[in-house]
Amino acid sequence: MELNKLSYPDSKINFTVRHTFSQFNGSFSKFELVMEGNTGDINSLKANLSVDISSLDAGIPMLTKHLITKEEFFNAPKYPNANFVSTKVEKKSEGVLHVKGDMTIKDITKEIHLDVNYKEDESGVVINFNTDLKRSDFGLRTKTFLDRFGIISNTAKVSGVFKFLK
Protein backbone atom coordinates (compact mmCIF):
# COMPACT_ATOMS: atom_id res chain seq x y z
CA MET A 1 0.00 0.00 0.00
CA GLU A 2 1.19 3.51 -0.79
CA LEU A 3 1.40 5.65 2.35
CA ASN A 4 0.28 9.04 1.06
CA LYS A 5 -3.01 9.87 2.80
CA LEU A 6 -2.13 10.76 6.39
CA SER A 7 -5.20 11.17 8.59
CA TYR A 8 -4.24 14.12 10.81
CA PRO A 9 -7.16 13.78 13.25
CA ASP A 10 -6.00 10.21 13.99
CA SER A 11 -2.27 11.06 14.16
CA LYS A 12 -0.35 12.60 17.04
CA ILE A 13 3.07 13.21 18.58
CA ASN A 14 3.41 13.31 22.38
CA PHE A 15 6.24 13.66 24.88
CA THR A 16 6.82 13.24 28.60
CA VAL A 17 9.63 14.61 30.76
CA ARG A 18 10.10 13.73 34.44
CA HIS A 19 10.33 16.72 36.76
CA THR A 20 11.30 15.99 40.40
CA PHE A 21 8.47 13.85 41.75
CA SER A 22 6.09 14.30 38.84
CA GLN A 23 6.17 14.56 35.10
CA PHE A 24 4.85 16.90 32.50
CA ASN A 25 3.26 15.82 29.26
CA GLY A 26 3.04 17.68 26.01
CA SER A 27 2.21 17.30 22.37
CA PHE A 28 2.80 18.79 18.94
CA SER A 29 -0.34 19.43 16.90
CA LYS A 30 1.22 20.48 13.58
CA PHE A 31 3.51 18.18 11.66
CA GLU A 32 3.93 16.72 8.22
CA LEU A 33 4.94 13.13 7.58
CA VAL A 34 5.81 12.24 4.00
CA MET A 35 6.29 8.55 3.29
CA GLU A 36 7.78 7.14 0.11
CA GLY A 37 7.70 3.53 -0.94
CA ASN A 38 5.21 0.74 -0.48
CA THR A 39 4.36 -1.52 2.46
CA GLY A 40 4.79 -4.47 0.09
CA ASP A 41 8.53 -3.69 -0.05
CA ILE A 42 9.55 -2.65 3.47
CA ASN A 43 13.15 -1.85 2.47
CA SER A 44 11.83 0.76 0.00
CA LEU A 45 10.11 2.80 2.71
CA LYS A 46 11.45 6.27 3.49
CA ALA A 47 10.07 8.75 6.01
CA ASN A 48 10.48 12.49 6.29
CA LEU A 49 8.84 14.06 9.35
CA SER A 50 8.79 17.81 9.99
CA VAL A 51 7.35 19.08 13.28
CA ASP A 52 6.23 22.70 13.74
CA ILE A 53 7.76 23.66 17.10
CA SER A 54 5.28 26.51 17.62
CA SER A 55 2.49 23.89 17.82
CA LEU A 56 3.91 22.54 21.11
CA ASP A 57 1.40 22.41 23.95
CA ALA A 58 2.67 21.52 27.43
CA GLY A 59 -0.73 22.03 29.07
CA ILE A 60 0.45 25.07 31.06
CA PRO A 61 0.46 28.27 28.96
CA MET A 62 3.50 29.82 30.68
CA LEU A 63 5.52 26.59 30.33
CA THR A 64 4.42 26.16 26.71
CA LYS A 65 5.61 29.67 25.82
CA HIS A 66 8.89 29.12 27.67
CA LEU A 67 9.62 25.83 25.88
CA ILE A 68 8.76 27.26 22.46
CA THR A 69 10.58 30.59 22.65
CA LYS A 70 13.56 30.39 25.02
CA GLU A 71 17.10 29.80 23.72
CA GLU A 72 17.80 26.99 26.21
CA PHE A 73 14.84 25.06 24.85
CA PHE A 74 13.43 25.03 21.31
CA ASN A 75 13.86 28.71 20.34
CA ALA A 76 11.22 28.39 17.61
CA PRO A 77 11.74 31.94 16.28
CA LYS A 78 15.23 30.82 15.19
CA TYR A 79 14.58 27.06 14.71
CA PRO A 80 10.91 26.69 13.67
CA ASN A 81 10.99 22.95 12.88
CA ALA A 82 12.38 19.68 14.15
CA ASN A 83 12.99 17.07 11.46
CA PHE A 84 13.48 13.33 11.15
CA VAL A 85 14.67 11.71 7.91
CA SER A 86 14.96 7.94 7.74
CA THR A 87 18.14 6.48 6.29
CA LYS A 88 17.31 2.77 6.58
CA VAL A 89 14.18 0.69 7.21
CA GLU A 90 14.34 -3.03 7.96
CA LYS A 91 11.74 -5.56 8.99
CA LYS A 92 12.56 -6.76 12.51
CA SER A 93 9.63 -9.13 12.97
CA GLU A 94 6.00 -9.36 11.93
CA GLY A 95 4.52 -5.89 12.43
CA VAL A 96 7.79 -4.39 13.73
CA LEU A 97 10.30 -2.31 11.77
CA HIS A 98 13.72 -1.06 12.79
CA VAL A 99 14.15 2.48 11.44
CA LYS A 100 17.45 4.33 11.48
CA GLY A 101 17.50 8.04 10.68
CA ASP A 102 18.73 11.53 11.36
CA MET A 103 16.91 13.69 13.92
CA THR A 104 17.56 17.43 13.72
CA ILE A 105 16.56 19.86 16.47
CA LYS A 106 18.05 23.37 16.67
CA ASP A 107 20.39 22.59 13.73
CA ILE A 108 21.91 19.70 15.72
CA THR A 109 21.62 16.38 13.89
CA LYS A 110 21.99 13.01 15.63
CA GLU A 111 21.39 9.51 14.35
CA ILE A 112 18.58 7.76 16.18
CA HIS A 113 17.11 4.26 16.00
CA LEU A 114 13.41 3.51 16.33
CA ASP A 115 11.48 0.31 16.69
CA VAL A 116 8.26 1.05 14.87
CA ASN A 117 5.08 -1.01 15.12
CA TYR A 118 2.72 -1.07 12.18
CA LYS A 119 -0.56 -2.70 11.36
CA GLU A 120 -2.23 -2.81 7.98
CA ASP A 121 -5.92 -3.58 7.58
CA GLU A 122 -8.80 -2.79 5.21
CA SER A 123 -8.94 0.89 6.29
CA GLY A 124 -5.23 1.64 5.98
CA VAL A 125 -2.01 1.49 7.99
CA VAL A 126 -1.35 2.56 11.58
CA ILE A 127 2.27 3.26 12.54
CA ASN A 128 3.37 3.96 16.11
CA PHE A 129 6.66 4.45 17.86
CA ASN A 130 8.09 5.16 21.31
CA THR A 131 11.62 6.41 21.87
CA ASP A 132 13.78 8.21 24.38
CA LEU A 133 15.68 11.32 23.30
CA LYS A 134 18.37 12.94 25.41
CA ARG A 135 17.56 16.64 25.64
CA SER A 136 21.25 17.49 26.02
CA ASP A 137 22.03 15.87 22.64
CA PHE A 138 19.99 18.63 21.00
CA GLY A 139 20.88 21.63 23.18
CA LEU A 140 17.61 21.51 25.13
CA ARG A 141 19.05 22.15 28.60
CA THR A 142 19.05 25.03 31.02
CA LYS A 143 22.19 26.18 32.74
CA THR A 144 20.41 26.19 36.09
CA PHE A 145 20.36 23.80 39.02
CA LEU A 146 17.22 22.21 37.49
CA ASP A 147 19.39 20.36 34.97
CA ARG A 148 22.65 20.19 36.92
CA PHE A 149 21.01 18.29 39.78
CA GLY A 150 18.65 16.20 37.65
CA ILE A 151 15.48 17.90 38.83
CA ILE A 152 14.39 17.86 35.20
CA SER A 153 15.22 14.55 33.54
CA ASN A 154 17.59 14.65 30.57
CA THR A 155 15.38 12.03 28.90
CA ALA A 156 12.27 12.97 26.95
CA LYS A 157 10.00 10.04 26.17
CA VAL A 158 8.55 10.67 22.72
CA SER A 159 5.73 8.72 21.08
CA GLY A 160 3.81 9.03 17.87
CA VAL A 161 0.84 7.48 16.12
CA PHE A 162 0.29 8.00 12.41
CA LYS A 163 -2.72 6.66 10.51
CA PHE A 164 -2.65 6.43 6.74
CA LEU A 165 -5.93 5.88 4.92
CA LYS A 166 -6.37 3.73 1.83
The 3-state secondary structure of 29-43, one letter per residue: CCEEEEEEEECCEEE
What's the predicted TM-score (pTM) here? 0.90
6/32 Cα distance (integer angstroms): 9
Q: What is the mean pLDDT of each run of 10 residues along the chain (166 residues)?
A: 76 90 90 86 91 96 94 95 96 93 97 93 91 92 60 87 90
Domains of the chain, CATH where assigned: 8-165 (2.40.128.110)
Per-residue pLDDT tens over the stretch 2-18: 667 788 888 999 999 98
For residue 121, the model assigns a pLDDT of 86
Q: What torsion, rounded to 10 degrees, do the Cα atoms 141, 143, 147, 148 define?
A: 140
Of 110, 108, 87, the closest CA to residue 99 belongs to 87
